[in-house]
Amino acid sequence: MVRAEYLIAALPLVNALYIPHAGEELATFDGPQPKELDDAKLPSLGRKPHRTQGHSQRRPVHMGGKQNKVAPVKVPTTKVFPSENGKADVIAPVSHDGEDITIKNKYIIVFDDSVTPADVAQHFGWLNVMHAEHMSMIDAKHPLASEESTGLLKTFDLGDTFRGYSGSFLPETIEAIRESPIVKHIEQDSIVRVSEASVENGAPWGLARVSHRKALSLGTFNKYLYDAEGGEGVTAYVVDTGIYIDHEDFEGRATWGKTIPVGDVDKDAHGHGSHCAGTMVGKKFGVAKKANVVAVKVLGSDGSGTMSDVIGGVEYVVASHKKEQASNSKHKGSTANMSLGGGKSPSLELAVSAAVNQGVHFAVAAGNENQDACNVSPAGASEPVTVGATDLSDDRAYFSNWGKCVDIFAPGVNVLSVGTTDPTSTAIMSGTSMASPHIAGLLSYFLSLQPDSDSEYATSEAITPRQLKQNLISFGTPGVISDLDSDSPNVLAYNGAGKGLSALWSGSNDTTEELDEEDVFTLKHITDLLLEELEAFAGKTGNLFGELRVALDGTHH
């Protein structure tokens, strides 16, 4: 007997592709052995079921000193069943801890880049015939199998670099699809889940950090320096659990775009997406305070979903971006944030990279497993900005993924943003999920402040995602992050502190420090800030706070 995680066996009666679940025992195994996906095996896929990268704190957050990086255990992130006789590869994502996250009989099929609309139409016609034929053949012997195989479910079109579809198919149909000359690869659909996020009380230090070159001090830890017009004319998409669009921090700039999971509600019943949106564009908590934000719900209200739904969300972002680009002359660009991660998914990486190639400025979370970010998706994709997390002391957050697939770091520990219990509620979460929206917010901020036509840095067209990504990294603060491996970029995000952005647009790194006077801090300042935080947290003022203020600084107000 053979116990296998992912196996393909040739069934003698129907010569079908058979993919059993983890732990299933097979009496025979004649198919090809799966092998771990290597980036070099799929050069066209770039780098990099899911979890949002809000991190569950299983131990206290490290706020200072040096951290020792825990050596990660290398586990397969993708199984590939190699092509034989020209057939397409079948790919099965695996979570970072080896969990079986695939969905039985459900697949994502990606077409070759050279496919034409006529090819696609012909393929779908053929597919419907094959599916019906196989269903009729097997229904008598395996009635339950037919209930799980409903055929074509969704089609995807993100431009020339990503076209495909998803559906539930019998093994016989998948084997036939493998033989199609226009199919690049087949990926077994997988589960997407939201991770638990830590929630506690604190201050929005992350905004202050991205607007200062120096490490934060008592004089700067709560000061966000920015251009008040940042975000104007930009639409930011949050591909997540949804957004609490009625929260006061969005000032009416939040709208509901689309709910991808069938049968789910237009509501963020989880809170993760709203928190990310607040960091991107909120009046109080956001980097780009004038941008509009759109909810694209790809994870259900229970915090889980499917890989195919995530790809569907990316497709919606691209379609909406193109529509606004064509109809709104004041539109300055589109950004998107995806704080998701899990097993290696070439299909998702292709979809996100295709969105970037269509003009969407994308930020994605690096992941929270303290491992090489190249092992997870979409963090390993080459085109979006992949973001790792740092803490208040400028150490790499102990949970943050790292390595050559990370492009930049941003604050991701104890980040204060929007809550979902009422229109004034707040929440604090930690994770690369919280770092990524800082970068998505920065992309929105910079897009809105592109040089005027008479500037020496002006271009005939809007800056491309690839160029802005390069400039963002060059403009960041170098050499300030501790606990990094040699492959990780030692670059912390920076917004320019509300000053001129000539260095950003020229692609240079002007690390001129802000004025030292910002570091001047008196006991009275400390008192005022502490009391302000206490009053905000309690939601009221009164004699208690007045008496405390007198006790601390000896003054009456």
Q: Which residue has the tokens 């070439």?
A: 346
* 556 bridge partner residues: none
Q: Which residue has the tokens 């709208």?
A: 255
Residue 373 vs residue 83, higher pLDDT: 373
In a domain, 478, yes or no: yes
One domain, residues 112 and 23: yes
One domain, residues 236 and 145: no
One domain, residues 110 and 209: no
Q: In this predicted model, what pLDDT tens digit does every residue of 295-352 receive, in sequence order? A: 999 998 877 889 999 999 999 999 999 999 999 988 999 999 999 876 789 999 999 9
* 156 bridge partner residues: 164
One domain, residues 274 and 389: yes
Dihedral sign for Cα atoms in the order 352, 353, 354, 359: positive
What's the pLDDT at 500?
A: 75
CATH code (residue 452): 3.40.50.200
Q: Which residue has the tokens 């296998």?
A: 4
Q: In this predicted model, what pLDDT tens digit does every residue of 474-511 receive, in sequence order? A: 999 999 999 999 999 999 999 888 777 878 887 766 66
Domain final residue, candidates 164, 190, 216: 190
Residue 23 vs residue 215, higher pLDDT: 215
One domain, residues 389 and 441: yes
In a domain, 512, yes or no: no
One domain, residues 140 and 283: no
Global pTM reads: 0.73
1 has a pLDDT exceeding 80: no
Report the amino acid identity of residue 390: T
What's the pLDDT at 243?
A: 98
Q: Which residue has the tokens 């237009």?
A: 266
In a domain, 295, yes or no: yes
CA distances for 192 relative to 101, 144, 343, angstroms:
8, 25, 10
Catalytic residue among 308, 433, 448, 488: 433
In a domain, 197, yes or no: no
Catalytic residue among 100, 240, 395, 407: 240
> What are residue 553's phi and psi, to 5 degrees?
-125, 0
One domain, residues 114 and 248: no
CB 220, CB 203: distance < 8 Å = no
Q: Is 240 considered catalytic here?
A: yes
In a domain, 516, yes or no: no
One domain, residues 275 and 182: no
CA distances for 127 relative to 110, 262, 313, 337, angstroms:
14, 23, 24, 34
In a domain, 402, yes or no: yes
Q: Is 112 considered catalytic here?
A: no
Tell me which residue range forms the domain holding 498: 205-506
One domain, residues 333 and 397: yes
In a domain, 64, yes or no: no
Q: In this predicted model, what pLDDT tens digit does every residue of 264-285 receive, in sequence order? A: 999 999 999 999 999 999 999 9
Averaged pLDDT for residues 377-388:
96
Region of poorest pLDDT, from 157-161, 317-321, 370-374, 517-521 = 517-521
One domain, residues 228 and 284: yes
Averaged pLDDT for residues 518-545:
49
CATH code (residue 129): 3.30.70.80
Residue 532 vs residue 398, higher pLDDT: 398
One domain, residues 426 and 452: yes
Residue 23 vs residue 365, higher pLDDT: 365
In a domain, 66, yes or no: no
Percent of the chain with pLDDT over 70: 68
Catalytic residue among 96, 123, 272, 275: 272
| Number of structural domains in the chain | 3
Q: Is 21 considered catalytic here?
A: no
Averaged pLDDT for residues 96-124:
86
What's the pLDDT at 37?
A: 33
One domain, residues 340 and 440: yes
